[in-house]
Amino acid sequence: MAVHFQTLLEAITANSEQHLSDLTILSLAEQQQIRNWNQLGYQDLRPYNVCQLFEQQVELAPDAIALVCETEQFTYRSLNAAVNKLAHYLQSLGVHLGETIGFYFQRSPDLIISILAILKAGGVYLPLDPTCPAERLAFMLSDAQVKRVLTCSAIPALQTLNLQQIRLDVDRHKITACSTLNPNSPITSEHLAYIMYTSGSTGTPKGVCVPHRGIMRLVRQPNYVDLDGEVILQAAPLAFDASTFEIWGALLNRGRLILLPTQQPDLEQLGQAIAQYQISTLWLTAGLFHLMVEEQLASLQPLRQLLAGGDSLSSQHIQKILQIYSHIRIINGYGPTENTTFTCCRTICNSDLSMTSPPIGSPISETKVYILDRYLQTVPISIPGELYAAGAGLAQSYLNQPTLTAEKFIPNPFTAASRLYKTGDQARYREDGTIEYLGRLDQQVKIRGFRVELGEIETILAQHPDVQTAIITTYAEAGHKRLVAYIVPHSTCDASNLRDFLKSKLPDYMIPAAFVNLDALPLTAMVRLTV
């Protein structure tokens, strides 16, 4: 602190006209140390797109198994041929460069084929979760101005919308007749690859627009995990950005992607799949990781690498698995959807287990992070600040929300012609340069790995005619985070009616586990004065 104070005094005397907020308190040595921690690997992926990198894997290993779903399997050659036929068919229907196309499938090979085909046709894919309420699906399709949806069954909930449902089962004979050659498309690394919706504080979800470069930076020659030829389980919902790592981590690295046919697998089904297919790399949300360690520990034995994240990890659970399976590399992964799944990662070592929750580590390749105060000045080592992310993983924008985009994606004061993403997460540097996650700076929470804005649930609940006021908060139950709704009703509110109301508008993970009726919300003295 004495050094920081001296640095500040020297800066003041050098230019007494400057605002204090514009002055750094870091010594030159400390500034250089933090810069060194941000100097990580870089590879130039600008000449490529995801489709080209997949086609490279086809050329390198045409007969290697690329995709397995129950009794069906595809080599890289046969998968590419099926993808190309559908891509040519989409182009014959008039799909144009940059067009957003939704896909709505139960879990089957058609799901993966459609994602690749949309990209090869020049389009942008929008995952539509079959478990999502029809009202929410309709909002996303309207917001993204989707005119076509790929599916294998008629979707009654979408009949009233002005869009074309392309039925793969009905059009199979037309698709089969198309060319197996790689289609030509002028896609660059800056073109959008997908739009993924996350919870929004205003009552409606927000679409995050992710370009090809974000996917490539995540899984091509990564410095945080070994992906070459791995067997990877695809178990995450396609509308959850963990699926980005699972799908492309396998298919852009000559790996084998095992697609679980179950929409929401239970612990036993996950354990059986790991054993049956000898999964070598697995991604789990923090909550699911804890449950697997508690109830399915023996099933994790085949793993070589286990990535977990989406919330704070328990050192106790990590220690339990490493005591029995010391060969498994446990990787703590941190990152928002706006920075393409992962921002920082850390392979857990013994020294981390003394902490309640292990550090999130260091920036992955082509990523920089900054821990700043409210004036965008770098905070000293060990001092909390807000974490900002920069680099090739940044999303382009929030769809149709220029004000929110400008608020969260700001000009980078440290690098010209660059942007920072304001994560809303509090963190600090440890003395060894690793980063420790300290929690949120707002009301956002993580439930089962999904990001939830409590304000969105509150806004929806307030639309119910029996609700006067509603507040959503969280509580811990057996170590797992749950949502609870506190309701001030006009008269009385039945919990089952409120739950059904929310289920018609929100995905399952955003439904509170408990509803509590109150005569009035408790207010602090300061709030009462302002009211």
Apex CA 438: angle with CA 308 and CA 453, to 5°? 75
CA angle 101, 76, 102 (to 5 degrees): 10
Q: Return the half-sphere exposure (C-beta side, CA atoms, 13 A cut-off) of residue 360.
A: 26
What is the percent of the chain with per-residue pLDDT over 70, rounded to a whole number?
A: 95
pLDDT of 134 above 90: no
What is the per-residue pLDDT across 246-292, written as a single tens digit (0 to 9) for each? 999 999 999 999 999 988 889 999 999 999 999 999 999 988 999 99
Query: Any idea which fold 69-187 has?
Result: Rossmann fold (3.40.50)
Angle, in degrees to the nearest 10, between helices 50-60 and 109-120 = 120
Contact 72, 109 (CB under 8 A): yes
CB 61 within 8 A of CB 76: yes
Identify the pLDDT of residue 157. 67
- The answer, yes or no, to whether residue 530 has pLDDT greater than 60, is no
What does the pLDDT look like over 146-159, one tens digit per residue? 999 999 877 776 77
Mean pLDDT of 440-461: 84
What single string gives the DSSP state of each residue in 452-463?
Answer: EEHHHHHHHHTT
Max Cα separation, the chain?
79
pLDDT recorded at residue 56: 96
* Per-residue pLDDT at 44: 67
Please write the tens of the pLDDT for every residue from 207-237.
999 999 999 999 998 999 999 999 999 999 8
pLDDT in tens, 332-386: 999 999 999 999 999 998 888 888 778 999 999 999 999 999 999 999 999 999 9
Q: What is the pLDDT of residue 526?
A: 42
Q: pTM of the entire structure?
A: 0.90
How many other CB atoms sit within 10 Å of the CB of residue 400?
13
**Structure-block tokens of residue 512:** 């509170």
Q: What is the mean pLDDT of residues 158-180?
A: 89
Mean pLDDT of the chain: 90
Q: Which distant-in-sequence residues (6+ apart) come within 8 Å of 227 by Cβ?
A: 219, 249, 250, 253, 255, 281
In this predicted structure, what is the pLDDT of residue 46?
66
- Give residue 41's pLDDT: 64
* DSSP secondary structure, 135-160, as one string: HHHHHHHHHTT--EEEESS--GGGTT
What is the assigned CATH class of domain 444-530?
Answer: alpha beta
How would residue 40 be classed by pLDDT, with cut points 50, 70 and 90?
low
**Mind spelling out the 3-state secondary structure of 338-357?**
HHCCCCEEEECCHHHHHCCC
Give me the pLDDT at residue 529, please.
41
> Is the pLDDT assigned to residue 47 strictly greater than 80?
no
pLDDT at 456 over 60: yes
Q: Which of 27-41, 102-116, 395-409 has the lowest mean pLDDT?
A: 27-41
484-497 pLDDT, tens digit per residue, is: 999 888 877 788 88
Per-residue pLDDT for 479 more than 80?
Answer: no
Rounded CA gap, 170 and 154, in Å? 10
Q: Domain locations in the chain?
A: 69-187, 444-530
Q: What is the pLDDT of residue 42?
A: 63
Which pLDDT does position 280 carry in this prediction? 98
Q: What one-character DSSP code corresponds to residue 161?
A: S
Q: Is the model's pLDDT at 45 over the cut of 70?
A: no
What local confidence, expressed as pLDDT, does residue 200 receive? 77
